[in-house]
Structure 1
């Protein structure tokens, strides 16, 4: 059985999913669709992008087909071990392996905790307070010297 190969590149995030989703849905219109997604050029993937991949795979399964991921970039690899439903998607090292569904080309999922998802941001740094000190040792505000007191 043949498969449709579709290459995704760039950002797979909340702002771009609305553009990609109809294209993917159109590829799943056939009975028993087989879709290979070349995700080697995806530079950023957030929770919405990962959820899109899972929902497309679910739609394909509902129609008797499947979705295979090929050559996942680091942005996609970071979701393989942590996103709910990603474990149900076959991931291959190459497009050719995914197209042929070659079991020798299958990649293992990352162990839990090894991923660094784009939504896991480090704690924000608190701004450092700057204070100017006059030669006399007294602190001044940023607005300049203090006005004389009356």
Structure 2
């Protein structure tokens, strides 16, 4: 029988003052790839974020950690140097598709699969589609919240 103290191998998702829409998309990306994750609330600052996430990647049984603070996202792998994470970027709240790709890529790292390209996401097209949908809904007197 396995005791409760045994930790399942998973991606650590470390949070500090996180914007919920970005977190939701990152987790959805990880789930799409079928890899488990564990949410961890950790105190870190902009200056200590890389060190903390690198340390969490070292502690993860699969060697992968994602750090999220406000709109900054770091994807770290235990075999990389602290100062060279795989991904270190800031996203706006409307860049949800990019956040989802970060989650997918974290899981793909574990599965040894090619990464999805974050730069291929065309935010302008997404915004134009969004504006068109809202305009069409307005013409039909359908309000979205």
Q: Same fold (TM over 0.5)?
A: no
Q: TM-score, normalised by structure 2?
A: 0.30
Q: Which has the higher contact order (CA 8 A, sep 6+)?
A: 2
Higher helix share: 2
Q: TM-score, normalised by structure 1?
A: 0.30
From the CA coordinates, give the structure whose radius of gyration is larger: 1
